[in-house]
Structure 1
Amino acid sequence: MKTKLKDYLLVTLGCFLAAIGINGFMAANNIVSGGVGGLAVSFAAMFGWDRGIIALAINIPLLILCYFFLGKTVFISTLYGSWLFPIFIQLTAKVPTFTHNQLLGAVFGAIVLGIGLGLVFIGNSSTGGTSIPIKIIEKYTPLSLGFIMTVVDGLVVLTGLIAFHDVDGVLYSIISLLIIGFVVDTMIAGTQSSRNIMIISQKHLRIKEYITKDADRGVTELPVFGGYTGQDKRMLMLTIATFELQRIQTAILEIDPTAFMVVMPANQVLGRGFSLHKHLQHNDDDYLLPM
């Protein structure tokens, strides 16, 4: 219960800060930072609609796609943040613009927005928006996550060019995107791109089921021997992207609060689910037979 309450508080604070980043720094400076917030800024300039209403209208059909293509678990974890974020965009629409310098608006808006998104991700949620189609495309195509994010957020930034006819604004928006990504990655799990997790637990079967079915990740099961107890045990090992760490770690501790986990940086990860298209079926071509 305390964990759930903490998550809700983190997501609430994160959505509020993200909305401040957009309304207090970016909107008046023609900065379109990607995501649903960026689309809200562009469409508000083009059509005169309220940014909060636009964000909510975009998120509703995307949530429906999330439920059918990514499953109930991802849908539930995304629902709260994707509903709250547009509300805070609407509530903070009247906050004063803190700077009218485009560079300062891009940099400090990105820092505030990045901190907000980082808190949302740490709270095991998201603000919905373009993260949903990004996850769907990543799940059903061989394209890398980084490439998909670059293309999707790049298209959102281009809507800013259409809305404001401001080339400088587009360039500053790209700077803003880079800063947001760095801030979020640093908040969640440092500057490394991936993490390797080793888990020893009496409930390893339930944890393995969660990893393969709910988290949609591969896992390796290894026999180990307790040096102190002298008992045979099972160790699970998996490699994940940094943004998945908080969600998976929290879920494992909910299954077994006494689970022993070691999290290590993985500087370079190649293979299925990373540099190759992810699937969990057996593939003989993936193995090197002994000579």
Structure 2
Amino acid sequence: MSEYYQEHFSIRETIRSYFFITIGAFVFAYGLEAFLVPNRVIDGGVVGISLILDELVSPISFSIFLVVLNIPFIFLGYKQIGKSFAFQSFYGIILSSIFSEALHDVEPITNEPLLAAIFGGIVLGFGVGTVLRNNGALDGTEILATLLSSKSSFSVGQIVMFFNIFILGSAGFVFSINSTFYSLIAYFIAFKTIDIVVVGMNESKSVLIVTDKYKEIGDALLNRLGRTVTYFTGEGGYSGEEKKVIYCVITRLEEAKLKNIVRYFDPGAFVAMSDVSDVKGGQFKKKNIH
């Protein structure tokens, strides 16, 4: 990829990511303020902790806690995952905090906690999933889980769920036992909605790419994602032509970026992805995202 086209492609991709992260942050904040917060239903992760602290420490608002508590995780993501991911996550968190403050007095959609948990979970999950699809995150526990899963046999979803069982359980002590049950409902619905939006909650995905632009795509995956690739030689069953096949393993957070890279070089490339429950051996090279 020439320097000019690489810069042009990177700028276009970045603008697109920030646009959808803005939408995702707004939808996330609306789900909180129009459904969950008025009905004393909380979400998991740093968001849930922030809502609990907002209830306990009234002079400090939820939006302040959301930003401050996420800063250590953003720094961790910057060091371990990449600066574009950290910047886009921080942008999303700041926006969701601002939107949450602006929407705080919005009229609740429903005053029925069960309906709020169900539909609030859907709206919240759609917002979070939109941000995740565009190389960002709205909650520090997602970043921490991404890093921990690479060192264990547990998926991101399993680790996040483990954290949230304790966080959502504590809602019973701060609000009421009913809040815990409704919060669990909202969390599981949001979890499944994120699953649908992102298309896969597992940390790792194996990817097979059949393309004539294998060298360009392979170099881009190495330089932009920091992922090593393996080249296979195959033969077309119908044409009998020799084809190069790229194989690599990526994280869930890198899926959208990989698709953009392949689409840029070869829109007609054949791409097959499958979930990988565990990765052992070999080496995941640290990302080098600019």
Name the SS of the counterpart of 1:140 in structure 2. Answer: coil
Q: Which runs of 5+ in 2 are unaligned?
A: 1-10, 285-290
The normalised TM-score by structure 1 is 0.79
Aligned residues of 2:73 and 2:140 also touching (Cα < 8 A) = yes
Q: Does 1:65 align with 2:76?
A: yes
Q: Assess, with a 3 A threshold, how the Cα gap between structure 1 residues 77 and 249 changes in structure 2: closer, same or farther.
A: farther
Task: State whether residues 81 and 126 of structure 1, in contact with CA within 8 Å, keep that contact through their aligned partners in structure 2.
Answer: yes
Q: Which one of 3, 9, 15 corresponds to residue 19 of structure 2?
A: 9
Aligned counterparts of 1:3 and 1:64: Cα–Cα separation in 2: 23
Superposed CA offset, 1:5-31 (max 9, x none) = 332221111100100111111112221
- Structure 2 equivalent of residue 95 of structure 1: 106
Q: How does 1:264-275 map to 2 (within 5 A)?
A: 266=274, 274-275=276-277
Q: Indicate the residue corresponding to 2:170 in structure 1.
A: 159
CA distances 1:104-128 after superposition (whole Å, capped 9, x unpaired): 1101111111111122123332214
1:286 matched to which residue of 2? none
Q: Secondary structure at the match of 1:222?
A: strand
Alignment of 1:84-233 (within 5 A): 84-164=95-175, 166-189=176-199, 197-205=207-215, 207-208=217-218, 211=221, 215=225, 219-225=229-235, 232-233=242-243
Given that residues 225 and 231 in structure 1 are in contact (C-alpha distance below 8 angstroms), is that contact kept between their aligned partners in structure 2?
yes
Aligned to 2:42, what secondary structure does the other structure show?
coil
Distance verdict in 2 for CA 1:63–1:279, change over 3 Å: farther
Question: In the TM superposition, what is the alpha-carbon distance from 1:91 to its structure 2 partner?
Answer: 1.8
Letter in 2 for 1:59: N
Superposition deviation, residue 248 in structure 1: 2.4
Match of 1:21 among 31, 44, 58: 31
What SS does the aligned partner of 1:53 have?
Answer: helix
> Letter of the aligned partner of 1:249 in structure 2?
K
- In structure 2, do the counterparts of structure 1 residues 253 and 217 end up closer, same or farther at CA, with 3 Å as the change threshold? same
SS at match of 2:154: coil
Q: What displacement does 1:203 show? A: 4.5
- SS in structure 1 of the partner of residue 282 of structure 2: coil
CA contact (8 A) 2:25 2:95 kept: yes
Match of residue 33, structure 1, among 15, 38, 43: 43
Amino acid at match of 2:124: L
1:262 is matched with which residue: 260, 268, 271? 271
Task: Report the 3-state secondary structure (helix = DSSP H, G, I; strand = E; otherwise coil) of the residue aligned with 1:236.
Answer: strand
* Structure 1: gaps (5+ residues): 283-291
Give the superposition deviation at 1:239.
5.5
2:232 is paired with a residue of what secondary structure?
Answer: strand
Going from structure 1 to structure 2, the CA distance change for 1:241 and 1:181 (only over 3 Å counts) comes to farther
Check conservation: 1:43, 1:163, Cα contact below 8 A. no
Structure 2 letter corresponding to 1:70 = I
Whole-angstrom CA distance in 1 between matches of 2:179 and 2:132: 27
Contact 1:31 1:172 in 2 (8 A): yes
Residues 144 and 275 in structure 1, CA contact (< 8 A), matched pair in contact too = yes
- Decide which moves more: 206-215 or 13-22: 206-215
Deviation at 1:68, TM superposition (A): 2.1
Q: Is the 8 A contact 1:185 1:243 kept in 2?
A: no
Find the aligned partners of 1:95 and 1:121 in 2 and give their Cα distance: 26
Aligned to 2:4: none
When residues 74 and 101 of structure 1 are mapped into structure 2, their CA distance, relative to the original with a 3 A threshold, is: same
Q: Does 1:250 align with 2:260?
A: yes
| 1:90 CA displacement | 1.8
In the aligned structure 1, how far is the partner of 2:251 from the partner of 2:79? Answer: 23
Q: Identity of aligned pairs, percent?
A: 26
Count the aligned residue pairs. 273
TM-score under structure 2 length normalisation: 0.80
Amino acid at match of 1:112: V
Deviation at 1:79, TM superposition (A): 3.0
Q: Residues 23 and 127 of structure 2 are in contact (CA less than 8 Å); yes or no, is this contact kept in structure 1?
A: yes
